[in-house]
Amino acid sequence: MKFETLTIHKGNHITDKNAPVVQPITLSTTFEHGNEGNMLYTRAGNPNRTALEEVLAAMEKGADAAAFSSGNAAGTAVYQALEPGSHIIAPNDMYHGLHNSMVQLFAGVLEVTFVDMSNLEAVKNAVRPNTKLFWIETPSNPLLKITDIRAIAQLAKAQGAILACDNTFATPVFQNPLDLGADIVMHSSTKYFGGHSDILGGALITKEKDSFWDKIRIVQRVGGAVPSPADCYWLTRSIRTLAYRMKGHAEHAMILAEFLLNHPHVEKVFYPGLKSHPGHAIAASQMSGFGGVVSFTVKGGAEDADLVVSKLNYFVNATSLGGVESLIERRAAVEGPDTLTPPNLLRVSVGLEHTDDLLEDMDQALG
């Protein structure tokens, strides 16, 4: 099946005797012993979660998938599955929630080195004898740096380490890290998978069902950070339109990026679809589209950036991304005092509104 077809049909399990076209929500927390699906207790397994995990694995061309209650829970499950004393190499501009998970939850348990993952030499120099995980995020959040997945995969293989890729920004519509050498793919399904800013969730997809994956499954089952049956249902429903939404997001993002590139009050634009982006060539070699997030720096400082945001009508000043509505945020204000994000940088999740309206609104706000 092609991608658009499998997202509609793969995660739709019909077992009801009335043969509904859409799989119903199974709210029961417990199941009669000896049932056909081997369901026992909904924390361990649920028909809606099984359906969701099946379509997630198919989208990323993986052997299995595990759904979690949030993107942070999914990423944290990978760190929990590592042996104490393991060393992680991670991006110095990664999503701050998972950055905090590494440095706060696992302080004294795991070691972490943060480097520019777009700089292969910096990554090589960070490798230690106990390096067990390379964590990459490409495009990165919020600077939209591009990491060469194939090159990092070679380093990980030589080290006998795991390569995990946060594929939230690209989605499997535009990038399949497992095909490029990654072992595990992570998603905040709150973002583009949900697509409407109303479902919290996370996911991991594995290339192989190995011993490390078994540990992750234990973390999921025993830790219990799993999505509700209703959230699994809504997420599976949203995924059916993912391919078409992503095409719109990417088209609109490119239009906005080109507009900003030529605006006199914009200092710099970060979008891998632009040929001026330092990672454009690598992005073009491993992505079929460049995603729906654009970051840019306003000429001036934080106050100037905040003023632009305050004048916007169609871009909502809010955290998160991936919804049909356009969102904008000054990321440094959210990430805290230790952030490396420029104080005048605005991250835009470009929505599906008409681009004429978006450009007109941005132009008047920039003055």
Quote the longest CA-to-CA distance of the chain. 68
Catalytic entry in 93, 148, 166, 183: 166
275 given a catalytic annotation: no
Catalytic entry in 79, 95, 233, 271: 95
95 given a catalytic annotation: yes
10: left (phi over 0), alpha (psi -120 to 50) or beta: alpha
Structure tokens at 214: 């078994």
Structure tokens at 329: 């945020």
237 given a catalytic annotation: no
Catalytic entry in 191, 245, 330, 331: 191
166 given a catalytic annotation: yes
- Can you tell me which residue has the tokens 């050498």? 181
Q: 137 near 143, Cβ under 8 Å?
A: no
Distance in angstroms (rounded) separating the CA atoms of residues 356 and 339: 34
Contacts of 194 (CB under 8 A, 6+ apart): 200, 201, 234, 235, 238, 322, 323
Question: Residues with catalytic annotation?
Answer: 43, 95, 166, 191
